[in-house]
Structure 1
């Protein structure tokens, strides 16, 4: 008898005004999902769902012919009201939820967190399968360390400092090494840096995070490889990112101006792919009655 496949879910957290990014990310995930195994997509919102958004996203699996995928929408768990520190206009409390939700939702063996400003190019099972079951989580190193930029976050090894926009949690292991109470205590008793959730997860799991290849969270357009800077990108890193660009699995639109904005100064292949995915998602509903 073959070994049962781990149960898996993908989750997003977002506030209103990011619906277009969310819809396109989910559509790209569904398009590239090839397995017949069930997949749950969970969406968590901090300021209320718009009914039309819920209805549209809920229909995407069926419209794409992927009935094995389901979408569910969740309001804030009670513990989210206890977050009182490390909150700002740019990073509201919901930014920290990604680190607390694996304590609440333990019915899955693995959880994949995705920022809404991502575009998926491969079956997410490829990413799940990469992750060592003995680590609490896995993520891709933060791009700025390859660019010779460090914020002095107190993380000992810059190259081990990960970006929190794409993370895979092994739920049981994650719950073994700390708890919801400890998470809330750390959030409310410490001042983290520029990116609170990212700084917290890196400090909490220093030396325990599996580092994933950059193509699973491609955060920067490759023009950064040739830009003049005090510490130039090494030839080895140039080769690493050139290869990641050719084999991208998840694109993360890191700059503040997102592809959903016509004001974005970057109109590269990823921008075009984002809009192509958006137009396709729209076409799925064109024949509906108005």
Structure 2
């Protein structure tokens, strides 16, 4: 095997086990057989049967291993009785990565709502240029470029040492130099910020990381945390992003050449279908082909499959029966809905392996 093991951290609650299994499978599909990969799953009370089920996600890939770690008591004491807002306490686990994994000098942190389309070993080896963390700038930066105003949560933290909001990064994908973080006692600063405010930060530990390490997060290429296709549709955005790393986002989208796709937003492709979301079909088309190849949680995935296809076919039948009786503009709109539903159902065509 070439090089040190590629260490990757996930943090998960039981309700996110299915997307985690799919994310892990996508990582395995694009891993190199010439490297070892150590996946560290930080959790809060997973059952043994759930751990065994997750281990199926790496079946057939002997160079990929899973390890499980509980959320540290130190963090639980800090969070005890504290309002975490819309985030699970587990999301704060990445603040303690250097302490959690003392044998690791470097680590990739990944949210579970991601799909790998490239070898995570490449991300692991990214040049951080002496910084303790590398990450991709957040879509909130694009929003501020388009409107000329800071989004509310960036306005909120701008007075806390964040001199340039355009350096704000998405913490869902990070490369962490744990050795440097230990040398600089970064954990103390991160936990100090967490304890300094009784109310939660708008974006939880992502805000904490950006405040504590402002100006010391090396920007990574956006193809390692691609989640920009919506903001770039705004009028005039192409001119605004010219000369920045966001300039390549449209071509990444057109060619599907990203190396990691982040399924941001409230809609997730493993939740009941939401026909009103513009990115519904894209997420389905990306996530379900990998889900169908994932050997873990097969019973649950098949149940989701039946739920999705039943809902889509019911809507399709309704519009097909009503089409002959729909006059004028309503006829055209219904016909467009029929075509959209047919495209969504096409995602589910084919046999399960």
**Structure 2 length normalisation: TM-score?**
0.72
* Paired residues of 1:225 and 1:233 also in contact (CA < 8 A): no
CA deviation digits over 1:136-156, x for unaligned, max 9?
110000111112243312121
Q: 1:137 and 1:179, CA in 2 relative to 1: closer, same or farther beyond 3 A?
A: closer
* Paired residues of 1:111 and 1:169 also in contact (CA < 8 A): yes
Report deviation, 1:59.
2.5
Please name the residue that 2:290 is paired with: 277
* Paired residues of 2:117 and 2:260 also in contact (CA < 8 A): yes
* Paired residues of 1:27 and 1:60 also in contact (CA < 8 A): yes
Report the Cα distance in structure 2 between the residues aligned to 1:233 and 1:99, rounded to whole angstroms.
37
SS at match of 1:21: helix
CA deviation digits over 1:156-181, x for unaligned, max 9?
11221101100110110111122444
Report deviation, 1:269.
3.9
Report deviation, 1:227.
3.1
- Over the aligned positions, Cα root-mean-square deviation in angstroms equals 2.6
Q: How many pairs align?
A: 279
Q: 1:283 and 1:110, CA in 2 relative to 1: closer, same or farther beyond 3 A?
A: closer
> Pairwise mapping of residues 75-154 of structure 1 onto structure 2 (< 5 A)?
75-84=70-79, 87-132=83-128, 134-148=130-144, 149-150=150-151, 151-152=154-155, 153-154=157-158
Please name the residue that 2:252 is paired with: 244
> Pairwise mapping of residues 198-213 of structure 1 onto structure 2 (< 5 A)?
198-213=206-221
* Paired residues of 1:111 and 1:170 also in contact (CA < 8 A): yes
Report the Cα distance in structure 2 between the residues aligned to 1:21 and 1:276, rounded to whole angstroms.
13
The farther-off stretch of 235-244 and 105-114 is: 235-244
Q: 1:7 and 1:94, CA in 2 relative to 1: closer, same or farther beyond 3 A?
A: same
SS at match of 1:11: strand
* Paired residues of 1:6 and 1:109 also in contact (CA < 8 A): no
Report the Cα distance in structure 2 between the residues aligned to 1:78 and 1:279, rounded to whole angstroms.
37
> Pairwise mapping of residues 154-233 of structure 1 onto structure 2 (< 5 A)?
154=158, 155-190=162-197, 193-220=201-228, 222-228=229-235
* Paired residues of 2:138 and 2:168 also in contact (CA < 8 A): yes
Asked if 1:259 corresponds to 2:269, the answer is: yes
Report deviation, 1:134.
2.3
* Paired residues of 1:135 and 1:209 also in contact (CA < 8 A): yes
* Paired residues of 2:94 and 2:109 also in contact (CA < 8 A): yes
Report the Cα distance in structure 1 between the residues aligned to 2:232 and 2:186, rounded to whole angstroms.
40
Q: 1:81 and 1:244, CA in 2 relative to 1: closer, same or farther beyond 3 A?
A: same
The farther-off stretch of 113-122 and 98-107 is: 98-107
**Structure 1 length normalisation: TM-score?**
0.86
* Paired residues of 2:136 and 2:225 also in contact (CA < 8 A): yes
Report deviation, 1:15.
1.5
Structure 1, unpaired ranges of 5+? none
